[in-house]
Structure 1
Amino acid sequence: MKGSKIAYKPVGIALGMVSGMLAGAAFKQTWKLIEGEGDAPDALDEDRPWRQILLAAAVQGAIFAVVKAAVERSGAQATRRVTGTWPA
Structure 2
Amino acid sequence: MKASSILYKPVGFGLGAVSGMIASAVFKQTWKVIEGEGDAPDALDEDRSWRQVLLAAAVQGAIFAVVKAAVDRSGAVAMRRTTGSWPG
2:25 match: 25
State TM-score, norm by structure 2: 0.99
Structure 1 residue ranges (4+ consecutive) displaced by more than 6 angstroms after TM superposition: none
Deviations 1:40-88 (A, max 9, x none): 0000000000000000000000000000000000000000000000001
How many residues of Structure 1 are paired with residues of Structure 2 in the alignment?
Answer: 88
C-alpha RMSD of matched pairs (Å): 0.3
State TM-score, norm by structure 1: 0.99
Q: Distance in 1 between matches of 2:76 and 2:3?
A: 14
Aligned to 1:86, the other structure's residue is in SS state coil
What is the Cα deviation at residue 14 of structure 1? 0.1
**What 5-or-longer segments of structure 2 have no aligned partner?**
none
Q: Distance in 1 between matches of 2:3 and 2:83?
A: 10
- Superposed, 1:11-50 pairs within 5 Å as 11-50=11-50
**What 5-or-longer segments of structure 1 have no aligned partner?**
none
Say whether 1:83 aligns with 2:83: yes
Q: Distance in 1 between matches of 2:32 and 2:70?
A: 23
1:8 match: 8
Percent pairwise identity: 80
Q: Distance in 2 between matches of 1:80 and 1:44?
A: 44
Q: Distance in 1 between matches of 2:53 and 2:4?
A: 42
